[in-house]
Amino acid sequence: MSDDKITHFGYSQVPVQDKAARVRAVFDSVADRYDLMNDLMSLGIHRLWKRHAIELAGVRRGQRVLDLAAGTGDLTERFARIVGAEGEVISSDINAAMLSRGRERLTDLGLVGNLDYVLANAETLPFASDSFDCVTIAFGLRNVTHKQLAINEMFRVLRPGGRALILEFSHPTLQPLRRVYDLYSFTVLPNLGRVIVNDSESYRYLAESIRMHPDQETLRAMMEEGGFERCDYFNMTGGVVAIHRGYKL
């Protein structure tokens, strides 16, 4: 099989057309306890990472925001409160179970009226060009089959003057931290998955997908290739996570 017809699923090689379905299966498996697992895996630090991303997004009242790979809606929730009744937030995910879980959660919180939910693949967004003031994707880009296509689409749907934020696991900048991080990722995470959701393989895939994700400089170059300007990134927790930001000028 030629290289353009295969891609990585964690450390495995799979046909390109199969990856999206495999990713859906992973998140179907973990959807019901996704929030609990996030808290356990990161010791709650993921909330601080997301809070910083929201601050860097600079969203204001009345704006229109697209939250890709929205999952259970952590970023969507905060954006909906910021933009108010005059604005709009679209919560989008490729996985129906995750999108449904997010809708239930945000509805229970009383967030209705300025929210909509769209099942969509980030590589082919069903939105008009120049539609949003801000586009975000948190912990989702590494699961996309063709990452450059998703970045290109984020640029396309942004209005001039808009900005994109990519919050994602990245590459630790300190060698001692890398060793500890590897031990944690490939030993602790699968065991947590086995105990909490009876699924160690999905969390082994998540650990592997992080290692296959582009490093900080490579991802910045991909954003520039997609048309973004003034691209920068912010390492957090020693580079375990990075926030990339770019503007459509």
Domains and CATH numbers, the chain: 45-172+216-247 (3.40.50.150)
> How many other CB atoms are found less than 10 A from the CB of residue 218?
11
Is 130 among the annotated ligand-binding positions? no
Q: What is residue 187's DSSP assignment?
A: I
pLDDT of residue 37: 64
Q: Which of 154, 97, 99 is nearest to 122 (CA)?
A: 154
Is 121 among the annotated ligand-binding positions? yes
pLDDT of residue 4: 63
The pTM assigned to this predicted structure is 0.89
pLDDT of residue 200: 81
Tokens of 124: 């082919």
Is 72 among the annotated ligand-binding positions? yes
Torsion sign across C-alpha atoms 112, 117, 42, 155: negative
pLDDT > 90: percent of the chain: 65
**Average pLDDT, stretch 154-182?**
93
Q: What is residue 244's DSSP assignment?
A: E
**pLDDT above 70 for 24:** yes
Is 191 among the annotated ligand-binding positions? no
Query: What does the mean pLDDT of the chain come to?
Result: 90
For residues 171 and 194, give the distance between their C-alpha atoms in angstroms, rounded to a whole number.
25
pLDDT tens, position by position, 97-140: 899 999 999 999 999 999 999 999 999 999 999 999 999 999 99
